[in-house]
Amino acid sequence: MKKIALLSGWIEEREISLKSAKNVQKHITKIHKVDIFILPEDINRFIQGYDDYDLIIPVSHGKYIEDGKIIALLEILKKPFLFSWSETHNICMNKYLTSIIAQDLWFTIPQHYLIQDIDDIKTCKIKGRIFIKPNHWGSSIDIGIFDNITKAKKLIQTILKYDDVIIQQAIKGREFTVSVIGDYDKKVIPIAVTEIITARDFFDFKAKYERVETQEITPAKINKKMQTILENISIILYKKLKLKTMGRIDFIYNRGKFYFIEINTIPGMTEKSLLPQALLYHGYESLGEFLEEYIKSI
């Protein structure tokens, strides 16, 4: 039996993070001693007692954990942990930078602009509808689709108070996500391609977590060629960006092209989350069975 600390909480998507932590705890507590630290409230308690734990599992979304800050602390403390190094989290949380890396690897990305000041919107030359989102935060908060810059200006100003803004071409098409497991320097396996169908304008918080007008189809109803393309792109990105344990990579398909959207380095781990469902599809009996493979190696 090992003693394991789960780090969860913070503000962005806090409720989902805590549900994920509770689910992970449920799946591994039969074998191991598991404590949940809710951050930032429990940060001092964790610092005082971290050395009592054999393994740390970060289970949260957005800033401070998924962007690598807490992971960097674990690296300094030299404590074993699941998921990627802090540098990988930091890069993948930066949507603009990740898109540039994908483009440099010759993958297709939507036309996009980085806005750091309201006057920067003058540089945007996108024709048609535009997608607005924060550059560093998660993919469910302060996002929207607009017909033009003028209509988007209020949201852009709101985001600029705390982050840079991504203005991205709003591509209408089929949305896919590829669930991947493994470590970049060992064996990497794409375990499922899921198609996400929503009647909403985009896969927002309600569509993602409340399942409002949403279908998640695993395996996606696509031909073998499309599946192979998605899996190959995902493997390359996963390895190049040095992901570990698990991750999800999102795409939109339009007119014969797969557009890379973003990478999730700490996917949701509730019972209904995409990656735990992909694990079941791949043949694991539970999320706990998968995590136990990593826990045993510590």
240-263 per-position pLDDT tens digit = 999 999 999 999 999 999 999 999
Q: Which of 169, 190, 212 is the last residue of a domain?
A: 169
Looking at the fold, whether 239 and 185 belong to one and the same domain comes out as yes
> pTM score, two decimals?
0.92
Q: Tell me, what CATH number does 67's domain have?
A: 3.40.50.20
Q: Tell me, what CATH number does 129's domain have?
A: 3.30.1490
Q: Is residue 272 part of a domain?
A: no
Q: Which of 5-14, 172-181, 209-218 has the lowest mean pLDDT?
A: 209-218
25-57 per-position pLDDT tens digit = 999 998 999 999 999 999 999 999 999 999 999
For the record, the structure tokens of 227 come out as 């599946």
83-127 per-position pLDDT tens digit = 999 999 999 999 999 999 999 999 999 999 999 999 999 999 999
Q: Is residue 49 part of a domain?
A: yes
Q: What CA–CA distance (Å, rounded) separates 284 from 231?
A: 19
Report how far apart, in Å, the C-alpha atoms of 116 and of each of 14, 64, 144, 273 are.
Answer: 26, 21, 18, 33
Domain hosting residue 19, numbered range = 3-82
Looking at the fold, whether 77 and 95 belong to one and the same domain comes out as no
- Residue 198 pairs in a beta bridge with 214
Looking at the fold, whether 214 and 95 belong to one and the same domain comes out as yes
Within 10 A of 274 (CB to CB), how many other CB atoms are there?
A: 23
Strands of 3-9's sheet, edge to edge? Answer: 33-39, 3-9, 55-58
- Confidence label for 138 from pLDDT (cuts 50, 70 and 90): low
